[in-house]
Amino acid sequence: MKKQIVIISGKGGTGKTVVAGALAALAENKVMVDCDVDAANLHLLLQPLIKERHEFRGGKTAVINKEMCNQCGRCVSVCRFEAIKTPSYSVDSLFCEGCSLCSRACPVSAIHMKENISGEWFVSETKYGVFIHAKLGIAEENSGKLVSKIRQIAREKAECLKSDYVIIDGPPGIGCPVIASLTGTDCVLIVTEPTVSGIHDAARVIALTEFFRIRVKLVINKYDLNPGITNQIDVLCRDKGIPIIGRIGFDQSVVESMISGKTVMEYCDGSVKKAFIQIWDELKE
């Protein structure tokens, strides 16, 4: 039975994708998915070859048929978002929230809801296996729906390939796409850093996982840069009963690996590489 492991962080820049890339290199017989659809970057490390490209339709916009419209003004009166402009009786797509109330209120059925193309999702091949990823369009909404879509595709691919794992690179924060990334998974791996904002946002994402009652483990990246806050993270995890399964020291070679577009496992050596191997060994248990 496949296990779904999602890597998340309370804030951006903690090294979450570096960890996800390392696990992608270490795990065998898996499918990988990048759920950070607003700012995906795991593909920079995995160098995917796109095999399938699909449109994502994640919302609707009202469209008024000018020939049928009798300009009664009913749609204008019910639209709370002031999306319908008069006297032209046209819809400003930037204001329309797709609620469809205007189409229901129209007495002559002159308004219909048109699906928006909000982004794309891809099925790719990499040297580490199948990779599912996506790109939400600029200023588009419904990122949570797109995350749910590519997670569904990843599960289907994993079933088809009889994969043991689905490795999920989740988005930062605690919003809708994060919730869509972690619900129904077997384990959440939180990546944090020893900074004031790092520990604050780690506490927020821990509270989120507690609400969904998902097994949690934690990794401290660059733990040696601020021993004082690292100790505070230790206390937080001890109070919450969360095991710290990895402490990654700061290493310039990690930065160089990202610049080179390679995972830590194929670029780095020494203590950093051993730290990631230990993290994966702990996760497998």
177-227 residue pLDDT tens? 999 999 999 999 999 999 999 999 999 999 999 999 999 999 999 999 999
Fold of 59-116: Alpha-Beta Plaits (3.30.70)
Q: Assess whether pLDDT exceeds 90 at residue 142.
A: no
Per-residue pLDDT band at 13 (split at 50, 70, 90): confident
Mean pLDDT of 21-46: 93
Side by side, the strands of the sheet bearing 3-9 are 49-64, 111-126, 129-136, 30-34, 165-172, 3-9, 187-192, 216-221, 244-248
Q: Measured in Å, how far apart are the chain's first and last C-alpha atoms?
A: 14
User: What are 73's strand-pairing partners?
Assistant: none
Per-residue pLDDT band at 1 (split at 50, 70, 90): low
Rounded to whole angstroms, what are the CA distances from 223 to 68, 80, 152, 174?
Answer: 66, 49, 35, 23
Contact 106, 65 (CB under 8 A): no
- Helices (H) and strands (E) counted in the chain, each on its own, are 11, 11
Domain 3-47+127-284 has CATH 3.20.20.70: no
Across the chain, mean pLDDT equals 93
Per-residue pLDDT band at 268 (split at 50, 70, 90): confident
Q: Assess whether pLDDT exceeds 70 at residue 72.
A: yes
Spell out the domain ranges in the chain.
3-47+127-284, 59-116
pLDDT of residue 37: 92
Best CA proximity match to 215, nearest among 268, 285, 135: 285
| Structure confidence by residue, pLDDT tens digits, 219-267 | 999 999 999 999 999 999 999 999 999 999 999 999 999 999 999 999 8
For the CA atoms of 144, 147, 153, 155, what is the dihedral angle to 10 degrees? -100
Instruction: Give the C-alpha separation, 22 to 42, whole Å.
Output: 11
Instruction: Give the C-alpha separation, 24 to 265, whole Å.
Output: 9
Instruction: Give the C-alpha separation, 17 to 45, whole Å.
Output: 9
Q: Which residues contact 115 (CB under 8 A, 6 or more apart)?
A: 57, 59, 60
Per-residue pLDDT band at 285 (split at 50, 70, 90): confident
Best CA proximity match to 182, nearest among 162, 157, 211: 211
Per-residue pLDDT band at 116 (split at 50, 70, 90): confident
Mean pLDDT of 33-57: 93
| Structure confidence by residue, pLDDT tens digits, 58-70 | 888 999 999 999 9
- The distance from CA 245 to its chain's CA centroid, rounded to whole angstroms, is 22
Residue written as tokens 């520990």? 199
pLDDT of residue 203: 94
Q: Assess whether pLDDT exceeds 90 at residue 118.
A: no
Q: Assess whether pLDDT exceeds 80 at residue 175.
A: yes
